């Protein structure tokens, strides 16, 4: 039995197509994380089990979903992802006779309508399918990591990601995720952010995206993404600088 878990917050636009691609699930679960739009209402139209929670941290949300699942196998899918027909067939075979405890899945990244192959997006594998008996859950409130025992397998049939559809949604995600990143650094007592650090982190990210990973080879979309990643680095440290000063002012 396969349980598919979708964690969603204000995903009324993306959720319908996502859930359509998951119709093969034996159990389809949507974890509604305090949505203020019609996410919950839309989910119920697809014969899903909907659970609402105000938990924070990606690890806590994923683990909450795991606790609701009753299947022998668990697959996590985001609202901006789609399971391809080939991937569906492969997963169904694994559920029947899979010999690994977990599987990493090849993910195709669609950025502003184009499939990306460079800039760090070309060889993207993400662990998402688990035999529940060997899977303990996740740790880490961002960039969460799975905890499981046993062998890790690989699935080459693609999971398709439509994470960046326009500049507006990209900016919205930047606001959310850079705040998480800044909070993480603050919690680990990151050294005070000074002027030179802004320059260093941006130059490092530029070198990574454009020199080492050749983001420019994806054309205009690659250049936009590469520069956005540099911008993200700046925002993380600008927000960290702000948080550090707020903490100083308290005392």
- Give the tens place of pLDDT for each residue, 204-217: 999 999 999 999 99
pLDDT of residue 109: 93
In this predicted structure, what is the pLDDT of residue 11?
94
pLDDT of residue 249: 63
24: left (phi over 0), alpha (psi -120 to 50) or beta: alpha
**Rounded Cα gap, residues 77 and 163, in angstroms:** 12
Task: Quote the CA–CA distance of 123 and 170 in Å, as a whole number.
Answer: 21
Angle, helix 219-250 to helix 195-206, in steps of 10 degrees? 160
Answer yes or no: are the C-beta atoms of 138 and 145 closer than 8 Å: yes
Residue 23: per-residue pLDDT: 95
**C-alpha closest to that of 78 among 164, 174, 155:** 164
**Residues linked to residue 126 through DSSP beta bridges, in sequence order:** 105
Contact in structure between 222 and 215 (CB atoms under 8 Å): yes
The reply to whether the predicted model has a pTM over 0.85 is yes
Give dist(CA 163, CA 161) in Å, integer: 6
**Rounded to the nearest 5°, which phi and psi values hold at 122?**
-75, -35
Q: Find tokens 């959720």 and name the residue.
A: 15
The segments of the chain whose pLDDT lies below 50 read 250-251
CA separation, residue 163 to residues 128, 156, 196, 239 (Å): 17, 20, 32, 23
Buried b (16+ CB within 10 A) or exposed e, 228-237: bbbbbbebbb
- What pLDDT shows up at residue 251? 44
φ and ψ at 166, to 5 degrees? Answer: -160, 165
Q: Output the pLDDT for position 16.
A: 96
Cα–Cα distance for residue pair 139/136, rounded to 1 Å? 10
Q: How many contiguous H segments (helices) and E segments (strands) does the chain have?
A: 7, 11
Task: Report the distance separating Cα 227 and Cα 88, nearest Å.
Answer: 35
């Amino acid at each position: 039995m396969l349980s598919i878990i979708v964690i969603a917050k204000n995903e009324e636009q993306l959720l319908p197509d996502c859930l359509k691609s998951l119709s093969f699930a034996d159990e389809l679960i949507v974890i509604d994380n305090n949505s203020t739009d019609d996410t919950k209402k839309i989910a119920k139209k697809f014969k899903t089990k909907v659970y609402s929670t105000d938990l924070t941290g990606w690890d806590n949300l994923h683990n909450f979903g795991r606790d609701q699942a009753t299947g022998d196998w668990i697959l996590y899918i985001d609202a901006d992802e789609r399971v391809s027909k080939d991937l569906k067939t492969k997963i169904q075979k694994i559920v029947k006779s899979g010999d690994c405890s977990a599987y990493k899945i090849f993910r195709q990244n669609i950025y502003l309508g184009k499939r990306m192959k460079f800039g760090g997006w070309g060889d993207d594998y993400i662990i998402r399918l688990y035999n529940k008996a060997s899977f303990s859950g996740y740790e880490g409130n961002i960039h969460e990591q799975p905890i499981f025992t046993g062998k890790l397998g690989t699935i080459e049939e693609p999971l398709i990601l439509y994470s960046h559809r326009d500049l507006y949604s990209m900016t919205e995600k930047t606001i959310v995720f850079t705040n998480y990143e800044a909070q993480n650094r603050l919690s680990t007592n990151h050294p005070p952010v000074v002027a030179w650090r802004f320059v260093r982190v941006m130059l490092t990210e530029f070198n990574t995206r454009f020199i080492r990973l050749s983001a420019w080879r994806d054309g205009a979309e690659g250049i936009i993404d590469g520069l956005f990643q540099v911008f993200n680095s700046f925002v993380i440290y600008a927000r960290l600088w702000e948080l550090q000063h707020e903490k100083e002012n308290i005392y």
